Chains A and B, each alone.
Chain A
Amino acid sequence: MADEAQAQLPSDNLVAVRDLTREYKSSGGLFSTARSMRAVNKVSLDVPRGKVTGVVGESGCGKSTLARLVLRLIEPTAGRVLFNGADLASLAPAQLRKLRCSMQMVFQDPYSAIDPRYTIRRALLEPFEVQGVALGKGEQEDRLIALISKVGLSPRMIESYPHQLSGGQKQRVGIARALALSPSFLVLDEPTASLDVSIQAQIIGLLEALKQDLGLTYLFISHDLSLVRYFCDRIVVMYLGRVVEILPGARAEARHHYARTLMDSHFVPDPKHRKAVTLLVGEIPSPFNLPPGCAFAERCPAASPLCQRERPLLSEHATGHLVACHHPA
């Protein structure tokens, strides 16, 4: 099915997301009425084949919900996800399950992503069991050794338990598990957020090498701006459930005022270039009570009455550079 669709729709994009929306409702109680909020609100973006697409934003911007929606780990309220041209919603459960071999996720917390009672062997064999891939004894051993070596671990570790591994080693196991079924697409949900810097750099280096060797496509969720600028080919900036800007390259200058502040708020590791960061006024508004216009208008230095009234749409300002702002910088 997926192959057929691909043949019909040749495209540079491995994954395409269209108007993806996920709504959460809070049920009313004795003293409150039921309310709803959209964690992800009409998000459209493309994930080019063989590239790293970064999604950045602060907590509550919907980046992790987006990651789960893209892999259909949670159901969208509206919108579509196309993988290799195939609409995930149109697939029968059996087909979707089969497709899951091609799209995998690496989680933020390697400590909770692996069952503490499983040996590394069992953790790595689980994906095969779930997908009903029968492996002969010898083949099983070869696959395991290949997998664990691919992520830079020693085959001697196969019989270890997670508690015997360091954080970085655990994350390597998490990556090996994601690679077990030879996927073409990985969603990386802050894979280094809980690791030390020297280990973070190791893991990013490993992910880069794997991408080269295996021709993978990544969707990289992060709040670490220097990491995103180093690692990603394109950067999607989210604010309160919506995409506010898509930067065509890591060096492109942001034009949305929120994206600019976000990009400016990382401290440059160079004492010879000290500069004051731009201070944002106010706080992120409640997602339950969003203003009718631009969600950033209240905090934006360039806001006009138009911004209060009308929500700016994402429009192309240069090739591949999309901005949702009435008064871009």
Chain B
Amino acid sequence: MALLSVTDLSVSIGRLKPLDGISFDIGKGEIVGMVGESGSGKSLTAMSVMGLLPLIGGKMTSGSIRFDGIDLATLPEPRYRALRGRRIALISQNPMTSLDPIIRIGAQIDQVGILHLGLSDAAAKARSIDIMRQLRIPEAATVHGNYPHQLSGGMKQRVVIAMALAADPELMIADEPTTALDVTIQAQIIQIVVDLVRERGLSLMLITHDMGVVAQACDKVVVLYAGRVAERNGIDAIFGEPQHPYTRELIRCIPRHDQLRGSLTGIPGAVPSVMDYPSGCRFHPRCADALDICAGAIPALEQKAAGFAACHAAINAAGKVSAHG
């Protein structure tokens, strides 16, 4: 059974409906990439799982989120609090906002062990330093006594990751954990996190827009477009045999050094806004494969080869889509 199972999740914020029928699973020990462009609903999906929708005035209007058999959608807040940070941990995009600037680094990590695992101060500190070492924070014992402003961005993000790991979670959600960082630091952090997650057999939901990171780190991929799942597939199929035209085009947008000059064209049009989603398949105005039916009817997420795709063209003409790729 999957550790996390999201089924038909829809979310509304006021009159807007930014998530519409999201379904996917994350198994134990799996790294699942959530990809899509801005406004596709990646972060909102993460917030839904963390039970943080009320913070932004959002609410689930349908569907279920089950974590290890527990129905998160109906879980009362006190019980959610015991789960959040303890069994499900979040690494957010900006390390600067995850750390309290006036509390020492060490105290912030220790707190997780003290609160969630009931450790003594000394035991929590020893544990924090151990985790910091595993994240290759140099001179971990010294850094433990530092304030956030004394650290670089990359080190701060490692501290945030240490906080996430301190409660020994089963599922980690990393929301674009490296976008604010320099390229060499990004590579280091992704590498360290993926190695640790694999080593400990944790499950990871990795939210990113970097298809290179996805290719190198993930087992499975959920491709979101404008608040819906376009495709769900194994990592090799996503890159080798994409079933949805959007996945195929997204991969074509990655520049490759061995690629012919002038062959990078992008996807025509713009990413639609939640205020103004197109009818039918939301990708149809930008899609080269669009049929007449695409503007009128919402395609269901259907099994296609080893994965799932929500595309009329892919379902109608088996094999046609992948032949383009």
- Minimum CB–CB distance from B39 to chain A (whole Å) comes to 9
B78 in the interface (beta carbon within 8 A):
no
Chain A residue with minimal CB distance to B258?
A251
Chain A residue with minimal CB distance to B268?
A202
- Asked whether, in the complex, the Cβ of A229 is within 8 Å of the Cβ of B255, the reply is yes
How distant is the Cα of A197 from the Cα of B37 in the complex, in angstroms?
Answer: 7
Interface 9-mer from A75-83, A97-105, A259-267, A302-310: A259-267
Contact of A269 among B37, B236, B251, B270 (CB under 8 A): B251
- Minimum CB–CB distance from B312 to chain A (whole Å) comes to 21
A169 in the interface (beta carbon within 8 A):
yes
A107 in the interface (beta carbon within 8 A):
no
How distant is the Cα of A186 from the Cα of B212 in the complex, in angstroms?
Answer: 29
Residues of chain A with a CB closer than 8 A to B152's CB = 283
Chain B residue with minimal CB distance to A208?
B262
Contact of A198 among B136, B155, B218, B253 (CB under 8 A): B253
- Asked whether, in the complex, the Cβ of A198 is within 8 Å of the Cβ of B267, the reply is yes
- Asked whether, in the complex, the Cβ of B215 is within 8 Å of the Cβ of A268, the reply is yes
Known: A198-B37, A223-B183, A268-B216. A230 touches B257 (CB 8 A): yes
Contact of A279 among B191, B214, B239, B251 (CB under 8 A): B191
- Asked whether, in the complex, the Cβ of A205 is within 8 Å of the Cβ of B191, the reply is no
Residues of chain B with a CB closer than 8 A to A267's CB = 187, 190, 210, 212-213, 215-217
Residues of chain B with a CB closer than 8 A to A279's CB = 136, 187-188, 191
- Minimum CB–CB distance from B110 to chain A (whole Å) comes to 24
- Asked whether, in the complex, the Cβ of A197 is within 8 Å of the Cβ of B254, the reply is yes
- Asked whether, in the complex, the Cβ of B154 is within 8 Å of the Cβ of A283, the reply is yes
- Asked whether, in the complex, the Cβ of A230 is within 8 Å of the Cβ of B259, the reply is yes
Contact of A274 among B155, B187, B216, B259 (CB under 8 A): B216
Tell me how many residues of A have a C-beta within 8 Å of chain B: 48
- Asked whether, in the complex, the Cβ of A197 is within 8 Å of the Cβ of B250, the reply is yes
Chain B residue with minimal CB distance to A266?
B212
- Asked whether, in the complex, the Cβ of A271 is within 8 Å of the Cβ of B211, the reply is no
B107 in the interface (beta carbon within 8 A):
no
How distant is the Cα of A168 from the Cα of B286 in the complex, in angstroms?
Answer: 14
How distant is the Cα of A156 from the Cα of B29 in the complex, in angstroms?
Answer: 53
How distant is the Cα of A318 from the Cα of B190 in the complex, in angstroms?
Answer: 35
Number of A-B contacts (CB under 8 A): 142
A158 in the interface (beta carbon within 8 A):
no
B271 in the interface (beta carbon within 8 A):
yes
A270 in the interface (beta carbon within 8 A):
yes
- Minimum CB–CB distance from B69 to chain A (whole Å) comes to 31
- Asked whether, in the complex, the Cβ of B257 is within 8 Å of the Cβ of A205, the reply is no
Contact of A197 among B190, B236, B253 (CB under 8 A): B253
Residues of chain B with a CB closer than 8 A to A113's CB = none
B209 in the interface (beta carbon within 8 A):
yes
- Asked whether, in the complex, the Cβ of B187 is within 8 Å of the Cβ of A196, the reply is no
- Asked whether, in the complex, the Cβ of A196 is within 8 Å of the Cβ of B209, the reply is yes
- Minimum CB–CB distance from A19 to chain B (whole Å) comes to 27
Give the contacts of A190-224 with B (CB-CB under 8 A): 196-205, 208-209, 212, 223-224
Give the contacts of B195-231 with A (CB-CB under 8 A): 209-218
Residues of chain A with a CB closer than 8 A to B183's CB = 58, 223-225, 262, 265-266
Known: A197-B254, A205-B265. A270 touches B215 (CB 8 A): yes
Chain B residue with minimal CB distance to A267?
B212
Residues of chain B with a CB closer than 8 A to A9's CB = none
- Asked whether, in the complex, the Cβ of B239 is within 8 Å of the Cβ of A270, the reply is yes
Known: A197-B211, A267-B187, A269-B239. A205 touches B182 (CB 8 A): no
How distant is the Cα of A212 from the Cα of B261 in the complex, in angstroms?
Answer: 11
- Minimum CB–CB distance from B298 to chain A (whole Å) comes to 21
- Asked whether, in the complex, the Cβ of B255 is within 8 Å of the Cβ of A231, the reply is yes
Chain A residue with minimal CB distance to B261?
A208
Residues of chain A with a CB closer than 8 A to B190's CB = 267
Known: A198-B37, A203-B266, A205-B266. A226 touches B236 (CB 8 A): no
- Asked whether, in the complex, the Cβ of A201 is within 8 Å of the Cβ of B216, the reply is no
- Minimum CB–CB distance from B223 to chain A (whole Å) comes to 12
Give the contacts of A109-157 with B (CB-CB under 8 A): none
Give the contacts of B113-139 with A (CB-CB under 8 A): 136, 138
Residues of chain B with a CB closer than 8 A to A277's CB = 187-188, 191
- Minimum CB–CB distance from B180 to chain A (whole Å) comes to 10
A272 in the interface (beta carbon within 8 A):
yes
Residues of chain A with a CB closer than 8 A to B254's CB = 197, 226, 269
Bitwise, A8-36 to B at CB < 8 A (1) or not (0) is: 00000000000000000000000000000
How distant is the Cα of A30 from the Cα of B18 in the complex, in angstroms?
Answer: 52
Residues of chain A with a CB closer than 8 A to B97's CB = none
Give the contacts of A285-299 with B (CB-CB under 8 A): none
- Asked whether, in the complex, the Cβ of A271 is within 8 Å of the Cβ of B266, the reply is no
- Asked whether, in the complex, the Cβ of B186 is within 8 Å of the Cβ of A169, the reply is no
B293 in the interface (beta carbon within 8 A):
no
Nearest first, the 5 A-B pairs at minimum CB distance are A202-B266, A267-B212, A201-B266, A229-B257, A230-B255
Write the residues of chain A forming the contact surface with B, with a CB cutoff of 8 angstroms: 58-59, 166-169, 196-205, 208-209, 212, 223-227, 229-231, 250-251, 261-262, 264-272, 274-277, 279-280, 282-283
Given A197-B254, A267-B217, 8 more A-B residue pairs with CB atoms under 8 Å apart are: A198-B250, A198-B266, A200-B253, A204-B264, A226-B257, A269-B214, A276-B191, A279-B187
